[in-house]
């Protein structure tokens, strides 16, 4: 395939059928990890192009985003390609591979030194606010509340429709809610019976669990409620603990030869479970967001496993069904909409 530029090359990712034991369900992985950087390349393109169209982002104006992962890389990619100065606000937990990529792409990376009142996230937002004042005309994509984040997944939904047609079950991890809710929202009008399964982590408040900021999984989970998470679109939620998520990523590599991050692992674990329990021919699709390289010393690092005592955490081979309100410490699942979600706004307005 040939594309006019790198921005145009975003998306068009492979859909790969997975072989799962004796299951006669048809299980597919949407390899968002095959984007130039990762799944959020789509979000960065959608938000930045929309802001340029509406005049919120003018020619050559700076873009500032708070992120330490896939969104930062997407903004550095698209912003850089379209001639914008890119500033990324992050914290010391950023991994060295992402940091090297961002700097090499030409982004200026601002690393906050201390936690603020709202933890690392609060400190990052404080610095972002300062930079917005210092850089006149700067644009902040605000992936947690910008409706262009979920809207970016219209293209992913169209690719699924073209490649596969009707789907019975869609599985995705939830951080901002953009990918799962955006894809589900685009598919539901043509597939009203679509079952949407969300994957979160133990210690994330997105689906009513108590927040545990020390959780190790990155990408999914949140300590704040993002406006882009629409619980009404979701039928079922699974939570995995850090050991289960990391172990699942290793299984994904061993069993399917796909080297992904922990969110891809968690989605795979749920896909496998659904495949084993689904009726013959059920079509199940899981979204795998990014590659595993930057997790080489966490998900895939023995030292990290030892230092964090991950082997001490429970490891379930199937989920335990729980009632809404139950606090979980290992793989569990619950039907929505019974899970009441409460929370606070994800991002403060920058004035
Ligand atoms: C690697 C990875 N996986 C999954 C997610 C969750 O995606 P979303 O924000 O669309 O809910 C993110 C979000 O940043 C991510 O970086």
Residue numbers of the domain that contains 161: 15-35+147-335
pLDDT at 117: 77
DSSP track, 256-303: H---B-HHHHHHHHHHHHHHHHSPTT-EEEEEE--BSGGGTTTTT-HH
In a domain, 200, yes or no: yes
Burial 92-127 (b: 16+ CB within 10 A, else e): eebbeebbebbeebebebbebeeeeeeebbbbbbbb
Q: Is the pLDDT score of 341 beyond 60? A: no
Residues 26, 154 within the same domain: yes
Average pLDDT value for the chain: 94
In a domain, 195, yes or no: yes
Residues 190, 250 within the same domain: yes
HSE of 170, CA atoms in CB hemisphere, 13 A: 31
Which of ligand 1's atoms lies nearest the C-alpha of 43? Answer: 10
In a domain, 3, yes or no: no
In a domain, 214, yes or no: yes
In a domain, 221, yes or no: yes
Residues 23, 104 within the same domain: no
Q: Is the pLDDT score of 346 beyond 70? A: no
Tokens of 239: 């939570």
Where does a domain end: 72, 106, 134?
134
Diameter of the chain measured on Cα atoms? 59
Strand order in 63-66's β-sheet? 63-66, 86-90, 108-111
In a domain, 244, yes or no: yes
Residues 272, 213 within the same domain: yes
Q: For residue 174, report the distance from its CA to the centre of ligand 1, in Å.
A: 6
Where does a domain end: 134, 158, 182?
134
Residues 25, 54 within the same domain: no
Residue range 66-72: mean pLDDT, rounded? 93
In a domain, 351, yes or no: no
Residues 197, 273 within the same domain: yes
Binding pocket residue ranges, ligand 1, CB within 6 Å: 69-71, 173-179, 219-220, 261, 263, 289-290
Residues 274, 236 within the same domain: yes
Name the residue with tokens 């403060």: 348
Domain count, the chain: 2
In a domain, 201, yes or no: yes
* pLDDT category of residue 64 using cuts at 50, 70 and 90: very high
Q: For residue 283, report the distance from its CA to the centre of ligand 1, in Å.
A: 23
pTM of the model: 0.95
Question: Looking at residue 306, which CATH number applies to its domain?
Answer: 3.40.50.1100
DSSP track, 120-169: HHHHHHHHHHHHHHHSTT-B---TTT-THHHHTTHHHHHHHHHHT---SE
Q: For residue 264, report the distance from its CA to the centre of ligand 1, in Å.
A: 10
Tokens of 34: 């095959």
* pLDDT category of residue 343 using cuts at 50, 70 and 90: very low
Closest CA to 140 of 230, 226, 61: 61
As a whole number of angstroms, the distance between CA 99 and CA 109 comes to 8
Q: For residue 349, report the distance from its CA to the centre of ligand 1, in Å.
A: 22
pLDDT at 344: 34
Where does a domain end: 134, 157, 185?
134
Q: Is the pLDDT score of 350 beyond 50? A: no
pLDDT at 316: 98
Residues 125, 192 within the same domain: no
Residues 309, 160 within the same domain: yes
Q: Report CA 284 to chain centroid distance, whole Å.
A: 19
Residues 221, 107 within the same domain: no
Residues 164, 49 within the same domain: no
Residues 230, 315 within the same domain: yes
Q: Is the pLDDT score of 342 beyond 90? A: no
As a whole number of angstroms, the distance between CA 264 and CA 195 comes to 19
As a whole number of angstroms, the distance between CA 286 and CA 266 comes to 10
Residue range 222-228: mean pLDDT, rounded? 92
């Amino acid at each position: 395939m040939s594309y006019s530029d790198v921005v145009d090359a975003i998306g068009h990712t492979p859909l790969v059928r997975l072989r799962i034991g004796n299951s006669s369900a048809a299980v597919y992985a949407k390899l968002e990890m095959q984007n130039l950087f990762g799944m959020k390349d789509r979000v960065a393109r959608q938000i930045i192009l929309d802001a340029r169209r509406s005049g919120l982002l003018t020619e050559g104006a700076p873009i500032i985003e708070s992120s330490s992962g896939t969104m930062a890389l997407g903004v550095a990619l698209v912003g850089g390609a379209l001639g914008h100065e890119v500033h990324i606000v992050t914290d010391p937990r950023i991994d060295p591979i992402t940091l090297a990529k961002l700097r090499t792409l030409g982004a200026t990376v601002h690393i906050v030194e201390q936690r603020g009142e709202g933890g690392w996230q609060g400190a990052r937002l404080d610095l972002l606010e300062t930079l917005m004042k210092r850089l006149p005309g700067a644009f902040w994509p605000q992936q947690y509340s910008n409706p262009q984040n979920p809207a970016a997944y219209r293209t992913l939904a169209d690719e699924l429709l073209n490649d596969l047609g009707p789907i019975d079950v869609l599985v995705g991890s939830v951080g901002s809610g953009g990918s799962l809710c955006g894809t589900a929202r685009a598919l539901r009008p043509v597939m009203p019976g679509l079952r949407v399964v969300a994957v979160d982590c133990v210690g994330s408040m997105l689906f009513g669990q108590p927040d545990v900021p020390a959780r190790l999984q990155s990408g999914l989970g949140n300590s704040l409620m993002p406006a882009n998470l629409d619980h009404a679109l979701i039928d079922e939620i699974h939570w995995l603990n850090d050991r289960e998520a990391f172990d699942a990523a290793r299984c994904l590599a061993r069993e399917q030869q796909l080297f992904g991050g922990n969110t891809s692992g968690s989605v795979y674990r749920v896909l496998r479970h659904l495949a084993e329990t689904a009726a013959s021919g059920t079509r199940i699709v899981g979204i795998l967001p990014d590659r595993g390289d930057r997790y080489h010393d966490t998900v895939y690092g023995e030292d990290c496993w030892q230092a964090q005592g991950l082997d001490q955490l429970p490891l379930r081979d199937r989920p335990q069904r729980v009632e809404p309100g139950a606090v979980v410490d290992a793989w569990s699942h619950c039907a929505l909409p019974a899970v009441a979600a409460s929370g606070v706004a994800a991002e403060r307005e920058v004035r």
